[in-house]
């Protein structure tokens, strides 16, 4: 009898093999597949989360709060950091291998039927994974699922659901080849998750984005809420709610104040770094308050406990000291800008050794301009992914367009890149791994195995 491990690996091989069909925006194929599965998504309630940055962090915080309040909560995120099973979890527990195998056995023949239909064509990897997740959450009878958009929103495979509320964290330029080359166009795609008469929350402060989201909300009679993060200490008594501001930074995280629709809380702790994580927590708390109208009641103790217990690796994550080893999955210009602002504020170090690996579709110049000025030494590498950008190409561009303060190296193999940085860094220095969550995932896994050796 074939082992579970082999069956699991074969299931993953089939799923990842669908990646050859690339990205094909549209809802026709997944709608047809879900119909064959009995429309499991209609048996579950959802919060739908889109945005250029912060959507994963917001989703995991919201799920953690609701779980702390005693609800059975599903969470769907991408990409995974440690294991494929990270993609779908219920009450903080990833789907197990046996459950995934059963779902693949159930879905594979149905997916073959869809793919053989000339009017539909081949399903993509993300479409199949989304169908797997929606079927899994229904089978687990989750009270609520926090569903993160994969790409965009309007034509994303997750947009088959009608959520209790929608969240669009923010909008900036990313995936321009698929979503559009202006913020206006991308806002239209993100706003596609807004549904008739269902509330929507955003943390954006971009007038262009706000105009687009408000317009779509009016068209659908959807209550529109904007949350505000106050970063300059100005008078807050006249501000619209909900809003929050950072109170204190500690070695393990940060404290902030929340002034919501009805709640006012001080000294809320999150074990995540970066003031933008306060904005994400603010958004999650506003969502919790709105969900009360749908019967989801959360007390103050659960709010605090849920945020205090959040685990979200690869986001300004500190893995070691002497030297510092920091992992952050910043993968677009806006995220890299936020990272460059947060790094010296949340960490003390003498020199920065930067390890960066990117995907080919990213705006190299816009990302590098934010982070390279902070680095004393740069090591260009790449994630283990066909879509990875050639590190030698990035290095050549950086050498031509940016004045690097010190040396730079090209180390395509991610393990060699980390070893090089650690060999050069002194005990008072910092090593930062960034450029893509895939790069972080590869190097983080290598480092964990290194510890066990």
Structure tokens at 366: 């816009």
Query: What is the Cα–Cα distance from 173 to 332, expressed in whole angstroms?
Result: 8
Averaged pLDDT score across all residues of the chain: 93
Buried b vs exposed e over 381-402: b needs ≥16 C-beta within 10 Å?
A: bbbebeebbebeebbeebeeeb
Residue 238: pLDDT over 60 = no
Predicted confidence band at 401 (pLDDT cuts at 50, 70, 90)? confident
Q: Is the peptide bond before 79 cis (omega within 30 degrees of 0)?
A: yes
Report yes or no: 281 and 274 within 8 Å, Cβ to Cβ.
no
Structure tokens at 72: 């059975």
Q: Which domains does the chain have, with CATH numbers?
A: 4-308 (3.40.1190.10), 317-452 (3.90.190.20)
Query: What is the Cα–Cα distance from 324 to 320, expressed in whole angstroms?
Result: 5
Report yes or no: 65 and 146 within 8 Å, Cβ to Cβ.
no
How many other β-carbons are positioned within 10 Å of the β-carbon of residue 66?
27
Q: Is the Cα dihedral 16, 19, 21, 23 positive or negative?
A: positive
Percent of the chain predicted with pLDDT > 90: 84
3-state secondary structure of 228: strand
Residue 209: pLDDT over 80 = yes
Please enumerate in sequence order all residues whose Cβ is within 8 A of that of 238, keeping only pairs 6 or more positions apart, or say none.
Answer: none
Predicted confidence band at 403 (pLDDT cuts at 50, 70, 90)? low
pLDDT of residue 369: 92
DSSP H or E segment with residue 341: helix 333-346
Predicted model pTM: 0.95
Please enumerate in sequence order all residues whose Cβ is within 8 A of that of 318, keeping only pairs 6 or more positions apart, or say none.
Answer: 324, 325, 326, 347
Query: What is the Cα–Cα distance from 423 to 190, expressed in whole angstroms?
Result: 43
Residue 298: pLDDT over 60 = yes
Query: What is the Cα–Cα distance from 383 to 375, expressed in whole angstroms?
Result: 20
pLDDT of residue 237: 57
Structure tokens at 70: 């005693």
pLDDT of residue 76: 98
> What pairing do the DSSP bridges indicate for beta strands 243-249 and 228-230?
parallel
Query: What is the Cα–Cα distance from 360 to 342, expressed in whole angstroms?
Result: 25
């Amino acid at each position: 009898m074939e082992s579970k491990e082999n069956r699991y690996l074969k299931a993953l091989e089939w799923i990842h093999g669908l990646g050859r069909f690339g990205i094909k925006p549209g809802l026709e194929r997944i709608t047809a597949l879900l119909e064959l599965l009995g429309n499991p998504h209609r048996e579950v309630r959802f919060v739908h989360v889109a945005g250029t940055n912060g959507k994963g962090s917001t989703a995991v915080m919201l799920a953690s709060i609701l779980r702390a309040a005693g609800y059975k909560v599903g969470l769907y995120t991408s990409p995974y950091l440690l294991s494929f099973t990270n993609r779908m979890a219920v009450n903080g527990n990833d789907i197990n291998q046996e459950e995934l195998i059963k779902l693949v056995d159930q879905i594979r023949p149905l997916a073959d039927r869809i793919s053989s239909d000339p009017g539909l064509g081949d399903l993509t990897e993300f479409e199949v994974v989304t169908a797997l997740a929606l079927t899994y959450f229904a089978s687990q009878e989750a009270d609520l699922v926090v569903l993160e958009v994969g790409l965009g929103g309007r034509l994303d495979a997750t947009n088959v659901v009608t959520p209790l509320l929608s969240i669009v964290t923010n909008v900036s330029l990313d995936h321009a080849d698929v979503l559009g080359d202006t913020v206006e166009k991308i806002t239209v795609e993100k706003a596609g998750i807004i549904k008739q008469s269902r509330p929507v929350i955003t943390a954006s402060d971009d007038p262009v984005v706000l105009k687009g989201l408000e317009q779509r909300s009016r068209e659908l009679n959807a209550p529109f809420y904007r949350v505000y993060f106050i970063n300059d200490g100005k008078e807050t008594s006249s501000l619209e709610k909900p809003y929050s501001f950072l109170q204190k930074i500690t070695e393990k995280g940060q404290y902030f104040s929340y002034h919501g629709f009805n709640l006012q809380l001080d000294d809320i702790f999150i074990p995540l770094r970066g003031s933008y994580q306060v904005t994400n927590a603010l958004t999650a708390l506003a969502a919790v308050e709105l969900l009360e109208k749908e019967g989801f009641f959360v007390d103050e103790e659960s709010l605090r406990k849920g945020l205090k217990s959040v685990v979200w690796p690869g986001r300004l994550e500190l893995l070691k000291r002497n030297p510092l080893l920091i992992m952050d999955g910043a993968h677009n210009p806006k995220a890299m800008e936020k990272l460059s602002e947060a790094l010296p504020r949340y960490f003390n170090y003498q020199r920065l050794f930067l390890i960066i690996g990117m995907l080919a579709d990213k705006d190299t110049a816009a990302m590098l301009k934010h982070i390279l000025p902070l680095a004393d030494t740069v090591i260009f590498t790449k994630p283990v992914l066909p879509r990875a950008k050639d590190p030698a190409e990035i290095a050549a561009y950086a050498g031509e367009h940016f004045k690097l303060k010190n040396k730079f190296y090209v180390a395509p193999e991610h393990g060699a890149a980390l070893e090089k940085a650690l060999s050069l860094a002194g005990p008072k220095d910092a090593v930062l791994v960034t450029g893509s969550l895939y790069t972080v995932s590869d190097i983080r896994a290598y480092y964990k195995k290194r510890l066990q050796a």
